[in-house]
Amino acid sequence: LTHVRTRRLRTVGAIAALLLLLTACGGDDDVPQDTGAEAEEETGGEEAASLEVSAVDNSFDPSSLSAAAGSEVTVEVTNDGSNPHTFTIDDLEVDTETIASGESASATFTMPDSSVSFYCAIHGEAVMSGTIEAT
Ligand SMILES: [Cu+2]
C-alpha cells in the first residue's frame, strides 16, 4: 500500500511540475499589446489658421505670412489705405473683390503643400503682392 501511494504522489508531482513549466512559458502574453493610440495622433491635419493682413497704399502689411500645409486658412483683410484694394490668389481661385477704404473682407482656403502668392488685382502683382509660406 505504501508503495502505491508513493507512486501516485510522484505522478501528481510530475504533472504539477509540467503545468508550472507550461505556465512559465506562457509568460510572453504579459507583453503590453499595441493599443493603436499612435495611429490616432497622426490624424490632426485639419487644424484652422487665422491670418490678418492690412492693405495700405499700395502694399500689404505684412507681405510675408506662413500657414501649415493642409490647414484651413482664413485671411482677414482690412483696407487701412485710401485706395480700393483686393486680396487675390489666382491658383486657389481666391478673390475678395474690391475692398473699399476702411472696409474688410475675409478669404478662406485650404493651404497647399507649397507657398502661394497673393496680390491686389487693382494695383497689380508687380506693385502690390505678398507670399504665404507653407510650413
Ligand atoms: Cu491695391
If you measure from the C-alpha of residue 135 to the centroid of ligand 1, how many angstroms do you get, rounded to a whole number? Answer: 27
Mean pLDDT score of the chain, rounded to an integer? Answer: 83
Pick the closest to residue 68 from 35, 45, 34 (CA basis).
45
Cα distance between residue 82 and residue 96, in whole Å:
17
C-alpha cell at 33: 499589446
Q: Which pLDDT score is estimated for 54?
A: 98
If you measure from the C-alpha of residue 30 to the centroid of ligand 1, how many angstroms do you get, rounded to a whole number? Answer: 67
If you measure from the C-alpha of residue 107 to the centroid of ligand 1, how many angstroms do you get, rounded to a whole number? Answer: 16
Is the model's pLDDT at 80 over the cut of 90?
yes
For the full predicted model, state whether its pTM sits above 0.85. no
28 backbone dihedrals φ, ψ, rounded to 5°:
-65, -20
Contacts of 98 (CB under 8 A, 6+ apart): 84, 85, 86, 122
If you measure from the C-alpha of residue 21 to the centroid of ligand 1, how many angstroms do you get, rounded to a whole number? Answer: 83
Lowest-pLDDT choice from 38-52, 86-100, 101-115: 38-52
If you measure from the C-alpha of residue 111 to the centroid of ligand 1, how many angstroms do you get, rounded to a whole number? Answer: 23
